[in-house]
Amino acid sequence: MDLATIVGLLLGFGLVGWSIFGNVEGEVALVFINVPSFLIVIGGAIASVMMATPLARFLKAGKFFSKAVMHKDKSVQKLIEDLVGFAEVARRDGILSLESAAKDADDPFLVQGIQMAVDGTDPELIESIMTSELDSIADRHEQGKSVFDLMGKYAPAYGMIGTLVGLVIMLMNMQDPAAIGPAMAVALITTLYGSMFANMFALPIADKLAVRSEEELLMKSIIIKGIMAIQSGDNPRIVERKLKTFLPPSLRGTPDDEGDA
């Protein structure tokens, strides 16, 4: 589970809730709870996303959200170590020995690449196939992100629509000056809801999905580079140095460390 996402969501809504209900009491605080305004913003945003995206993609919104929240970090360093280990096995026992060595790998993308290398597939074809798969993964990630981007786009607009509806109702009842203030407050609630939903939920989730996509694409790019280096028969030290170029300098280790690897 990604604690940063959970804590961020709770903290954001918690601070806004505290600023409202911690400083006002009674009937004034209840003004901030308005079911019709909530339904206009949330229901309207969902309706527009349904119109803007294919139904199959919209129905996966819950799955996309779970990817942002239920996430298990994977170590890039561990992946590089595994690939260097495969390079050592291939150099010592031959590339055919990788078929059994890769059985314990938990990444289907890695297993697919090693299997093609073991089968003697042309290197250019391996790279082409795996790069195409990488592009497809990036497209799927972008589709998931787009659902929450659209929610963040439409929610404030529906907040404004709700405010305009409230203002029209208020102006129709101008004969009671004492009711103008409370009616104006209720009218503005939908704008508040739209801004909160967009900036405290939808857009942060979209940005977190973009981060997750970058992380996964980096891992897949390292796998492609590693498979190509292994198939070309590179020395394991060279494989390690090639793959460590994907890491920031602070995580690459010293030249002595690489020589001892």
pLDDT digits (tens, 9 = 90+) for 201-226: 999 999 999 999 999 999 999 999 99
* pLDDT confidence of residue 261: 42
pLDDT in tens, 102-152: 777 888 899 999 999 988 889 999 999 999 999 999 999 999 999 999 999
Is residue 161 a contact partner of residue 191, using CB atoms and an 8 Å limit? no
Q: How far apart are CA 183 and CA 227, in angstroms?
A: 66
Q: How far apart are CA 224 and CA 51, in angstroms?
A: 38
Asked if residue 180 belongs to a domain, the reply is yes
Q: Does the pLDDT of residue 254 top 70, yes or no?
A: no
* pLDDT confidence of residue 226: 94
Q: Supply the range of the domain harboring residue 63.
A: 3-74+133-212
Q: How far apart are CA 92 and CA 78, in angstroms?
A: 21
State the pTM of this model: 0.84
* pLDDT confidence of residue 26: 64
Asked if residue 119 belongs to a domain, the reply is no
Write the CB contacts of 114 (distance below 8 Å, at least 6 apart in sequence): 86, 98, 99, 102, 105, 227, 230
Q: How confident is the model at residue 173 (pLDDT cuts 50, 70, 90)?
A: confident
Asked if residue 255 belongs to a domain, the reply is no
Which tokens in the block code for residue 109?
């993308």
Write the CB contacts of 148 (distance below 8 Å, at least 6 apart in sequence): 61, 64, 65, 202, 203, 205, 206, 209
Q: How far apart are CA 200 and CA 195, in angstroms?
A: 8
* pLDDT confidence of residue 160: 94
**Alpha-helix runs per DSSP H in the chain:** 3-21, 26-30, 35-52, 55-58, 61-69, 76-93, 98-101, 108-118, 123-171, 180-197, 203-231, 236-244, 255-260
Backbone angle region of 114, left / alpha / beta, with phi > 0 → left and psi within -120 to 50 → alpha: alpha
Averaged over 59-88, what is the pLDDT?
A: 89
Asked if residue 245 belongs to a domain, the reply is no
Asked if residue 30 belongs to a domain, the reply is yes
* pLDDT confidence of residue 27: 64
Indicate the average pLDDT of the chain.
87
Q: How is residue 234 annotated by DSSP?
A: -
* pLDDT confidence of residue 41: 94
Asked if residue 79 belongs to a domain, the reply is no
- Give SS3 for 232: coil
Number of domains in the chain: 1
Asked if residue 89 belongs to a domain, the reply is no
Asked if residue 223 belongs to a domain, the reply is no
* pLDDT confidence of residue 221: 95
Q: How far apart are CA 181 and CA 91, in angstroms?
A: 79
Q: Does the pLDDT of residue 153 top 90, yes or no?
A: yes
Backbone angle region of 24, left / alpha / beta, with phi > 0 → left and psi within -120 to 50 → alpha: beta
* pLDDT confidence of residue 94: 87
Q: How confident is the model at residue 28 (pLDDT cuts 50, 70, 90)?
A: low
Which tokens in the block code for residue 102?
């890769």
* pLDDT confidence of residue 203: 96
- In the chain, the amino acid numbered 11 is L
